[in-house]
Structure formats: structure tokens, C-alpha cells
Amino acid sequence: MKKTGAKIFVETLLEHGVNTMFGYPGGVLLPIYDELYHAPIRHILSRHEQGAIHAADGYARATGKVGVCMATSGPGATNLVTGLATAFMDSVPVVAFTGQVSTHLLGIDSFQEADIYGISIPVTKYNYLVKETSRLKEVMYEAFHLAISGRPGPVLIDLPKDVQTIQIDDPPVPALTLPQRRPHLDPVERDRQLEKILSLIRDAKRPVIYAGGGVIKSDKAHEALLRLAEKAQMPVTTTLMGKGGFPETHSLSLGMLGMHGTRYANYAVAKCDLLIAVGARFDDRVTGEPSTFAKEAKIVHLDIDPAEVGKIIQVDACLIGQARDLLQELADRVEPQAHEEWISQIAQWKRDFPLSYPKKEGVISPQYVVEQIYEKTRGEAIITTEVGQNQMWAAQYFKSTRPRTFITSGGLGTMGYGFPAAIGAKIGCPDRIVFDIAGDGSFQMNIQELATAVYNKVNVKIAILNNGFLGMVRQWQELFYGRRYSQTTLNGNPDFIKIAEGYGALGIRVEKPEDVPSAIERAIAEDHPVVIDFHVDPEENVYPMVPPGGAIHNMLDRKE
């Protein structure tokens, strides 16, 4: 039986369990969209291709499944690039399909032709340009395997129009012939490394575990981490990407470390004598100046990607593998520890340096809004964020306790990410409350996706921390550039209530602190997308703050 490439495409999606995808059609994708017309796949039509890929990304992070999106050739494809880079930096499994001009038109500057294969090489885990319909099914099987195996990441498949229309014999399910991953360490060396790590844990007086996004992505790694931390009495700090990997309500939790981490997390890392990094990559927002990072500590690195080991910080021991497997192995083998003096010291730092913010009469503090979202959702919501001050306040004041509940663009820092990601997360987890904590700048970067949320009845809540500024950039101008606010004042902001109503969503404006709790309660009760426009203190800053390039134990704080 002969089948077109478009039909093979849809059947292969179904074979991979895809029941939801995000996209925006175009002329070169008409054969595929015609096949999708009757397919049992829910296609969410975004209002911009960037919205589609961020939604697929949010869907993937919230569910642990592969997120799927599609865009047409030329500008449609290039509009995916920021989303690909966002997913690549944060190791998110996304398979993105792009339409392409027919093969005989390639390379001659045809209408809406762009070399997305070449453009996307640096921002994908792998990419393909399929020139033969006979290769399509095999390539799609490889792409779904690559996206989620090992260190996850985005894979792009570029599909010329004629590849979609040519008919071929029904292809069989392909056998994957990808190269097998070889162990990074031979068995003898691996045993030596494991014994060394156990010895370092046994001898440590001031240990700290530093957990990153790898703990979120490795199924049940958070359970092994909790068991290891409690058994060896090792405090745990997480990166922004690692939030939810260890319950932030636990007595051993230090919260987030780094540029806007807690003082006690940064002090603990500065003074620890053993730092166990798991699923983390020592990025510059965590380490500050690397030569000053954890200077008193032996360093252990557990990671899925051997390329990350020793890239920024030299280590004393390492193991390569899934975070879940490595943590389970350590939790099984480690001897119970106490560290009473160290735990007592950290408790004292927590009492001396708690996260705090000023409470001004009649002024809404943005941190208070985040605290109220945490309380009114009993900490059970899925939180997405935009990027900037809103992202850091959300990370500091919403205590995450479970994996896949704090979704943010950590590596690339993509403004405009949070709202479409919230749409994807809500579609993937329809029974969960989903809040996008946004800034008035970031929200406007993909505000058009209100139409997507309203039309598809995606019941997300957007909490705008509206300060009238590009807040984080303004904060740096205040602290390091003599308070010269060059191009960071958002004059001309729209009326967000009218915008929400124009799209068919509910808009709530909040200008008094006493109205914050009831507004959040009302939003949660509404079975509808809601935009809450919180008018917050315009010049509030995020503290603590490590100046760029500084040592993480040297933090700025507000002047009383």
C-alpha cells in the first residue's frame, strides 16, 4: 500500500504517543495539515511560532514527555530559533518540525526559503533535512529517541514539501542504528571513583549537596536525593533549574544558591568542605567568579554528560550516569552521618539572614504577591515565570516541593517564555493550577497568546508584577550605572485589563496590598484565563545580589 510522506508523518507521530502538538501552518506544510485535519491529534494553533515552541517546551517540562511543535519555512522556521535555544540551554526534549521548499528549489533563494538546518545546528541536540520520503519514518524515530535519551534536548526535522507529497510503499517500523553510548569510565575506574566519593562523604564535616536540573529530568531522582540527604545529614541547595528537586520546606533545604540565592546557601557553599554537585553545570550565575567558588571544599560531580565534568570547576571525583541511579547508589552505600555542629551553624545563618523585604504602607511588594500565590495555592501550583526580577522573586518566595512544578528559562533567560510555557504546562497537566508570574515587559513579548489560551479554554492565570520598568535591567542601572535609567522605563504600557477583555479573558487590576489575597482567590476560582495586573513598588530590587563576576559569599543587600 502506497502512502504519502504526510500520512507517514502523522502515523509516526501517533506511534510515538503524540496526542498534542503546537504549531502554525504555512504553504509548504499544507500536505501535513491536510492529514492532521482528521487525525486524533490535538493541534493547538498559536498566534506566533515562538509561542508554539515555548508551549511545547512547557508541556515537556511539566509532563516529562517530548514536546512537539511545527512551523512553516522561512520566517516561520526562524521564529522557532529562540525557542530551540531556550530548550537546548535547559536540556528540554522537544521535537520541532519545519516546512521547507521542495527539494528542487533548495539553495536558490526561493520564496520563504531559509537554511534552518544550518541555522539550528548550534541550538539543537541534532537536526535533519529530509530529502527522501523513504527516510522520513526512520528520521522521526531517531529524533524522538535522541530528544529524550541521555541528556535531553531539542531535535529539528526540516521537511521539504515534495517529501510530504511523494507516495512510497508503507515503510516498516525502523530498527534504530544509532551509535551506542559507551561508558565514560571503565569498571575499575568507576569503582575507584565511587569508593573515593564514599570516603569523602565519610570524612566530611561540612558537606553540601548542590542539585541542578538533572535531578528534575531523571525520574524519581528527587526521592533518592531526599534519602541520601537525610541519611548523611547533608544540606541541599538547588539551582534555579533544580527547584523542586528537593522540598524547600525541609529543614535541610538551603533554597537557591548563586547571584540571587539565599545568604545561607551561599555561605554554606563558601564554607563547606565537601560539595556534591548532581545534575548541575556550575554556570556563572551560580559560581560567580569560579576561582573563588567553594574554595574550602573537595568537589564531587555526578552528571549524565561527561562534557560538563571539569568544564568550569575542577573536580576531585566524578561519576557519569542518570542522577536517579547515581543518587540511589550513594544512598544505599553511604553510612549514616550527623554533622550536628554544621547543621547548627546553618540554622544560625537562617535565623540571622532570612529572605525579607520592606512592607510599605499602601504599596504592594512584589514578593508579597508571590507569597500569596504560594499560600492560596497551598504550594501546589505549577509556576512558570518570565525572565527578570519576576523570575527571581518567584524562585525566592515560592517554595517548590516537587519536580516539574517550577518552569522557567534558566540558561538562555528568554523573556516572553513564561506565558506560552504556562499554556503548554496546563494542557499537559489539566488538573493542576498553573500561574505565570510575569513582568509587564516580558508578558508583552508573547501577549498575543491570550487568544490561544482563550480559544482553547486553557485555564491559566497570569500574575503581572507591573512596575513600569524592565525591572532587572533598571536595578543594574540603579546599582552600577548611577541610577541612569536608559531605555528601561516602559512608557506607553497598555491597559492590561482592556487587553485581557479584548481577547475574552478576565482582567483584574490590583492597586492595594489588602486586595492581593482576594484577587488571587477569585482568579483561582474562575474556570477561565485570568490576567491579574498587580501594580507593585516600581523601584523594588531583588536581594540578596552577588555583583556580576564577584564571589558568591560577597552579597549586596538593601540599605536599611
Instruction: Tell me, yes or no, if 161 is annotated catalytic.
Output: yes
Given 111, 314, 512, 521, the catalytic residue: 111
Residue 397, H or E segment: helix 389-397
**In a 3-state reduction of DSSP, which class is residue 112?**
coil
Instruction: Tell me, yes or no, if 449 is annotated catalytic.
Output: no
Given 241, 415, 472, 545, the catalytic residue: 472
CA 233 from chain centre, in angstroms, equals 29
Given 3, 7, 35, 49, the catalytic residue: 49
**In a 3-state reduction of DSSP, which class is residue 526?**
coil
Provide the grid cell at 485.
Answer: 535609567
Contact (CB, 8 A) for 170 and 134:
no
Contact (CB, 8 A) for 159 and 176:
no
Alpha-carbon dihedral 207, 210, 214, 220, rounded to 10 degrees? 50
Provide the grid cell at 15.
Answer: 506511534
Contact (CB, 8 A) for 174 and 141:
yes
DSSP string, 92-108: --EEEEEEE--GGGTTT
Given 7, 161, 350, 426, the catalytic residue: 161
Contact (CB, 8 A) for 154 and 124:
yes
**Cβ count near 326 (within 10 Å):** 25
Contact (CB, 8 A) for 496 and 468:
no
Query: Residue 55: what residue type?
Result: A
Going by C-beta distance under 8 Å and a sequence separation of 6 or more, which residues neighbour residue 331?
224, 227, 228, 231
DSSP string, 128-156: EE---HHHHHHHHHHHHHHHHSSS---EE
Instruction: Tell me, yes or no, if 112 is annotated catalytic.
Output: yes
Query: Residue 134: what residue type?
Result: S
Q: What is the CA radius of gyration of the chain?
A: 24
Going by C-beta distance under 8 Å and a sequence separation of 6 or more, which residues neighbour residue 430?
none
Alpha-carbon dihedral 334, 217, 439, 497, rounded to 10 degrees? -130
Task: Report d(CA 204, CA 206) in Å as an integer.
Answer: 6
The total number of residues written for the chain in this structure? 560
Task: Report d(CA 400, CA 59) in Å as an integer.
Answer: 18
Residue 532, H or E segment: strand 530-535
Task: Report d(CA 113, CA 471) in Å as an integer.
Answer: 38
Q: Which residues are catalytic?
A: 49, 111-112, 161, 472
